[in-house]
Chain A
Amino acid sequence: MAVSAMDSYSRQFGLGALRSLPFIILLFLILLVGTLTISPGSPLPPLMLSWSYVYYWALFQPARLGNGALLLAGLVQDVVLGLPLGVSSLCFILMRLFVVQWRRRISLQHFWAIWLCFALMAGVVAVFMALFIGLSQRAMVPDLLVQSLYAGLLAWIIYPLVHLLCNRIYSIQS
């Protein structure tokens, strides 16, 4: 009796861990990319790998990465990258909202179309990020927009790798 209860608990724990795998990997990615970009002396520019990751999950399995998880992950990213608190969470949630609206149309397309749509999303989110940072600091600087768009461009370039990684996680989950 006790053994079966233990089995049930461990199965539930395993299922919970599997369900939260996308969130755990998002946190790990944020910390890893953060480490590479913020290590003293690192020449790497800010890399928004997380945007690509959020785009994928919002497109194929939005329930796996909910708004609460995005809030927490965004706060972690803000602390790691030294951004005003709340900026990344708002960007993640915006991206999720946009993608979920059109996911039925986009997700059935060929990979190239999905990648192209991400370019559009990354551009829009980059503009919003510059706006949020500017609002929080009460100063809009053109350089801020350029740097945000550059971060979006890098995220777009790296998207195919993230897509592959997410496909692997998706197959593990299903």
Chain B
Amino acid sequence: MRPRYAASDVAIPFKPLLQRALLAVIVAFCIILLFSGRSSNGIANTVRTTLMDGIVPVLDVLSRPVQAVDEALVQVGDFFTVYSENQRLRLENQRLLEWQTAALKLEAENQGLRELMHYTPRENKAFVTAKVVGQTSNSLSQRLMIDAGRSQGVQAHQAVMTDHGLVGRVMAAGDSTAEILLLTDMNSRIPVMTEPTGVRSILAGNRSELPHLAFVGSRKDPKLGDVVVTSAEGDLFPAGLPVGKLFAESDGQWQVRPFVDFSSVRYVHIVTMEDEPVSGVPLAPAEPEALP
């Protein structure tokens, strides 16, 4: 007797089912990545650093013509402003010479005082210099990509600066590349202190050019024009790295204008802290050396 139904009539359509299951897995994977992105140890970090190590060398090669055109345009612009630039540099040179005299005098005085105190400074900061190969500075993200990573001693959470001041912190470090979170990014929180008023607070990014001070926890009030430097709260950053100046106060929030012009950052220094942070270094006199 023949069966009533052929096997093909009752076969479950596996291919569409498999495709739907695969789609569900992919979407679930994306959602996991999305929500683990803020953690520096999560799966998102591993995927990001792995991809970055492969992509950054390609981006570096592709961006060379763009950078060459950019530099050529800057040079053409410089050609037309060379006279006014010369005048400005002359004035600046004169002003700097006056400052140099003052600095030499202060250095000698400082040296004398240190000798009196038998003070030995502990320098525990080291720098790794890296080239910026990518930069996004818009509302969607505010980050830099650099061509130095773990093999050069770069690690997550290290401070990143230029000659002018703090840029941000290392967010993720691959083998030979790293991603930097700018201090203006929404996710950036940096412990800082104002000078000379000594008010400690947190510098919070808000996607604008002017990050603000959050959690100003002091009875003293900061003053307009105060310099903002990093504090060593939580041993995250070394103390005293210049960040910016108090620019304005609106609705009880102090806005900070960073010293760094983020649009012109080409090279950065990553501060690789050694054994102990600068904070808490006692100003006690050094032990006299034992005689042989």
Contacts and interface: CB of A to CB of B under 8 A. Distances in A.
Interface in B13-60: 19, 22-23, 26-27, 29-35, 37-38, 44, 47-48, 51-52, 55, 58-59
A16 interface: no
B135 interface: yes
Contacts of B19: 67
A141 B26 contact: no
Interface residues of A, number: 46
A68 B139 CA distance: 28
A169 interface: no
Nearest to B135: A40
Given A71-B30, A86-B37, A135-B34, A46 B136 contact: yes
Interface in A1-48: 31-32, 34-42, 45-46
Given A85-B37, A85-B47, A67 B139 contact: no
Contacts of A137: 38, 186-187
A147 B138 contact: yes
Interface string B258-279: 0000011110000000000000
Interface stretch (A76-84, A103-111, A160-168): A76-84
Contacts of A75: 33, 47, 51
Contacts of A138: 38
Interface in B155-207: 179, 186-187, 207
Given A76-B55, A79-B52, A143-B207, A151 B37 contact: no
B59 A34 contact: yes
Nearest to B139: A147
Interface stretch (A52-60, A87-95, A112-120): A87-95
B263 A41 contact: yes
A98 interface: no
Contacts of B63: 35, 38-39
Given A38-B145, A67-B23, A31 B55 contact: yes
A125 to B, nearest CB: 14
A136 B59 contact: no
Contacts of B116: none
Closest 5 CB pairs of A and B: A86-B33, A147-B139, A82-B143, A82-B141, A86-B30
11 contacts: A31-B58, A38-B136, A39-B135, A40-B134, A68-B22, A79-B48, A81-B141, A85-B37, A85-B48, A93-B27, A144-B140
